[in-house]
Amino acid sequence: MGDAQTPLWFKWAMSQKPKSHIVDVDDCGIHYYLWEGSSTEPKKGGLLFVHGGGGHAHWWSFLAPFFTKDYRVAALDLSGMGNSGRREEYSAEVRSAELLRVIQEAKLGDNTFVIGHSFGGLTATKFAQEHGQSIHGLILADSPIRPPAISSKRKVRRMGNKKHYPDYKTAVNRFRLMPEQHCDNEFLVRHIAHHSVIEDKDGWTWKFDGNAMHNRRFTEPYHTYLEEVSCKTALIYGDESSLLDTNTIQYMASLMRHGSPIIGIPQAHHHLLLDQPMAFISVIRSILQQWHSEYH
């Protein structure tokens, strides 16, 4: 995926090859990548990255290597997405079990932090509600949680109807970010697209299970999950996000414990880790450093 316009930092990150693993969670194979890094120094803890709806672990593969000096780092494919298996039914409850199992199997340790983008952050609130005592922090990245009355009225475009394309190039060229937005870092969009497609008997199509992308995934009481999280929490959002406006940010802040970091990244939309990857890394590092200083 490299070319003359691809920055050196991305080429370096892609050279840091993770190990691929599959673990069984309730009769479903859950795939994850693990970056251990080359440093022999003791790690500060573990990081688990959780992708958004219809995504996959490679949304994090260009970011994860920047944390391996201090952490064991894992990124999973949620069930029904990426290279993980499919289920007859999906819920925040079963995905919470997936996160827990990967943390255990990847040996991320007691000092683990979970970072979730968009729907991945919503999923992680359920996990942190149930298992917050077993981790040290949860960071939500542009994961909108609105009051139930407002959330129930919002119309969300369903992604479950998948199309097939005659060849790999056509499929990749059809890839669009959801919600749609412009992204200056086209090399990152290409990277995501490359890992989003698969060939089956009918041609090339998206990896995710259409049933996993049904709109009912947004009907969980995420506001309750966030309010009942027992570990530290933080919110990062794109200043130009189409999903997190001022009212949503204020509402989420009211559910989080007083003093939780709430940080906007300039010139970033909803897909902030693609828009401003270096700023995203810096903000995550700063939050983790702050939390470590509070523990020690």
The answer to whether residue 229 is domain-embedded is: yes
Task: Report helix angle 92-105 to 119-131, nearest 10.
Answer: 70
Sign of the C-alpha dihedral computed for residues 232, 118, 128 and 251 taken in this order: positive
Q: Is the pTM of this model over 0.85?
A: yes
Model pLDDT, residue 215: 60
Those residues of the chain that have pLDDT short of 50 are 1-2
Q: What is the DSSP string of 182-209?
A: --S-HHHHHHHHHTTEEEETTEEEESS-
Contacts 24+ apart (CB under 8 A), 214-219: 214/90, 214/158, 214/160, 215/156, 215/158, 217/53, 217/90, 217/119, 218/122, 218/151, 218/156
Q: Return the DSSP state at 134.
A: G
The answer to whether residue 40 is domain-embedded is: yes
The answer to whether residue 108 is domain-embedded is: yes
44-90: pLDDT as tens digits: 999 999 999 999 999 999 999 999 999 999 999 999 999 999 999 99
Residue keyed to tokens 């999950």? 225
The answer to whether residue 245 is domain-embedded is: yes
The answer to whether residue 252 is domain-embedded is: yes
102: Cβ–Cβ under 8 A, 6 or more apart, which residues?
Answer: 23, 30, 32, 48, 74, 76
Contacts 24+ apart (CB under 8 A), 197-204: 197/168, 197/171, 197/172, 199/168, 200/164, 202/164, 203/164, 203/165, 203/166, 203/167, 203/171, 204/164, 204/165, 204/166, 204/167, 204/168, 204/170, 204/171
| CB-facing half-sphere around the CA of 266: CA atoms within 13 A | 0
Model pLDDT, residue 296: 61
Phi, psi of 223, rounded to the nearest 5 degrees: -65, -40
Model pLDDT, residue 162: 80
Model pLDDT, residue 138: 98
Cα–Cα distance measured from residue 148 to residue 220, given in angstroms and rounded to the nearest whole number: 10
Cα–Cα distance measured from residue 117 to residue 129, given in angstroms and rounded to the nearest whole number: 17
The answer to whether residue 163 is domain-embedded is: no
The answer to whether residue 29 is domain-embedded is: yes
Q: Is 165 helix (H, G, I), strand (E, B) or coil?
A: strand
Name the β-bridge partners of 50.
Answer: 76, 116
The answer to whether residue 239 is domain-embedded is: yes
Sign of the C-alpha dihedral computed for residues 175, 178, 181 and 186 taken in this order: negative
> Structural domain of residue 101, as residue ranges?
16-156+209-295
Cα–Cα distance measured from residue 82 to residue 31, given in angstroms and rounded to the nearest whole number: 8
Model pLDDT, residue 2: 46
Cα–Cα distance measured from residue 179 to residue 117, given in angstroms and rounded to the nearest whole number: 13
Model pLDDT, residue 203: 95
The total of structural domains in the chain comes to 1
CATH number for the domain harbouring residue 71: 3.40.50.1820
